[in-house]
Amino acid sequence: MSSSLPQQHTSKGLLGSSLIVASMTMLSRVLGLVRDIVIASMFGAGSHADAFFVAFKIPNFLRRLFAEGAFNQAFVPVLAEISQQGDRQLLKAMVSKVSGSLLLVLSVITVAALVAAPVLALVFAPGFADDGDKLGLTADMLRITFPYLLLISMTGFLGSLLNHAQRFAIPALTPMLLNLSLITAALWLAPQMRVPVMALAWGVLAAGILQLALQLPFVARLGLLVKPQIGFSDVRVKQVMRLMLPAMFGVSVAQINLLLDTVLASLLQTGSVSWLYYSDRLMELPLGVFGIAIATVILPGLSRRHASKSPQAFSLTLDWALRMVLIIGLPAAIALGVLAEPLIATLFHYGAMGDRDVLLSAASLRAYAFGLLAFMLVKVLAPGYFARQDMKTPVRIGIWAMAANMVFNLLLVWQFDHVGLAMATALSACLNAAWLALGLYRQQIWQPAPGWWVLGGRLLVASLALIAVIYLTYQPVQVWLGWGLWQRIGHLSLMVICGALAYLAALLLTGLRLGHLRDPKEA
């Protein structure tokens, strides 16, 4: 049967779609770096910056659960089932009832959060209890930022419809509006406010409105901009909710771990929350551009392959995604780890961001870099379960990974401070990825295609070439701190370009070709 949503998979394969999402995401992430540079230069890593990052992290964390995480993972497989039936009216009815039910739940959560903002601030940042002004500022900003959860979650819902129809560009481009809004708020609104950092909170709220508004006309073109209806009794809504509730935990273990880092960091010296934030932001660049891009593209494909009972095609798609993550993620992890100080100095060492802040942010970035490949692997392994509507297994694995993270936190935080928190998160991500991969392999859902040992050898040679180039062009940290903006940009660009060329050249010399990167054909 034909799908109820228009498709374009004949013209764009997985690689082409991934490149579209990655390029759009890259634009957004570059703007995100500009945003963080502006925030770092104006607010540094002081108490006001700590307060905003906590007030923003709470709704942003829940956004990962509702918008990009559990809801998307639960909704897309059900959407694929309905589309497979070819019943347009049934599809529109489901969209109407799911959107209405989601909107009601989010509205209740938002109202409750506005009332309980001081309590939420204290729960997520208990270290602020000794500083009444800092805690009060966090609560005030939280009342402004929390409605962002409702707005961006509905944006994520609309984005799921667009992604299923293989209209990947707009959902991938939408996050740009958050960055543009925060940059505008910092540069234009902040100087006009009595408490300048409050401008950032208003920027978050404005971004949510703009992001939702951007998606609406494109969903309307699909003919799926229908009136929301509350439909908790509907069988499809129940199915989505049944899948979503466990997925809320399973897909978001990494985010929960990062949130736990924030809670514990609030108990450490002032600046710890900010140092973790800046290092996390740099880690999120390759994770968002490549890891999430690949995961976004393969989930609808995996769901269709499962719905059409094509296990071989399912396995090949998953295998392709894992190979792509390794090819892209390995050099990114090496670069973040080796170039931690140059990256932080080049991007953030201006205005209120001092030398000490650079060194301490770089230390946690290096720890996060150790787990980058694992973070990316989790993003593409989890859809292997969710596309099959198996939520229990990743949840079970997530519980064990989270428990491990807590143990690692307690073991490492008191000796290594905020760096210990980053190390714990990275180690738990490695365990999460390993357990997910092992589960798929044991169930014969993922059967490694031939050529993995050859790929491993190529990646080893290419990585050594990359490290050699970085070593030959590296300058001491104090030199970087003494350089001006353009000197830093020039030398960092030289290192990145030369390193990338060395990595690619090594892959080509060892036999890797473009044909090896093309997505598998459906069996």
pLDDT 10s digits, 488-512: 889 989 999 999 999 999 999 998 8
Neighbours of 309 (CB within 10 A): 8
Higher pLDDT, 520 or 194: 194
In this structure, what token pair is assigned to residue 177? 């509006």
pLDDT at 423: 92
Q: Where are the alpha helices (DSSP H) in 14-146?
A: 14-43, 47-63, 70-85, 88-115, 117-124, 132-145
Each residue of 197-232: pLDDT tens digit?
Answer: 999 999 999 999 999 999 999 999 988 888 999 988
| Residues belonging to the chain | 523
Q: Which amino acid is residue 498, in one-letter code?
A: C
Average pLDDT in the chain:
83
Residue 351 CA to residue 39 CA, distance in Å, equals 10
Residue 113 host element (H or E): helix 88-115
User: What are the Cα distances from residue 272, in Å, to 144, 318, 417?
Assistant: 24, 38, 8
Residue 392 CA to residue 382 CA, distance in Å, equals 11
pLDDT at 21 over 90: no
pLDDT at 29: 75
What does pTM read for this prediction? 0.71
Q: Where are the alpha helices (DSSP H) in 387-451?
A: 392-442
CB 154 within 8 A of CB 99: yes
pLDDT at 521: 53
Q: Write the CB contacts of 27 (distance below 8 Å, at least 6 apart in sequence).
A: 173, 176
pLDDT at 263: 76
- Find tokens 């990825």 and name the residue: 433
Strands (E), 46-150: none
pLDDT confidence band for 2 (50 / 70 / 90): very low
- Rounded (to 5) percent helix, strand, coil in the chain: 80, 0, 20
Residue 445 CA to residue 321 CA, distance in Å, equals 14
Closest residue by Cα to residue 125 from 56, 62, 37 = 56
pLDDT confidence band for 247 (50 / 70 / 90): low
pLDDT at 80 over 80: no
pLDDT at 522: 41
pLDDT confidence band for 433 (50 / 70 / 90): very high
Strands (E), 99-240: none
pLDDT at 250: 57
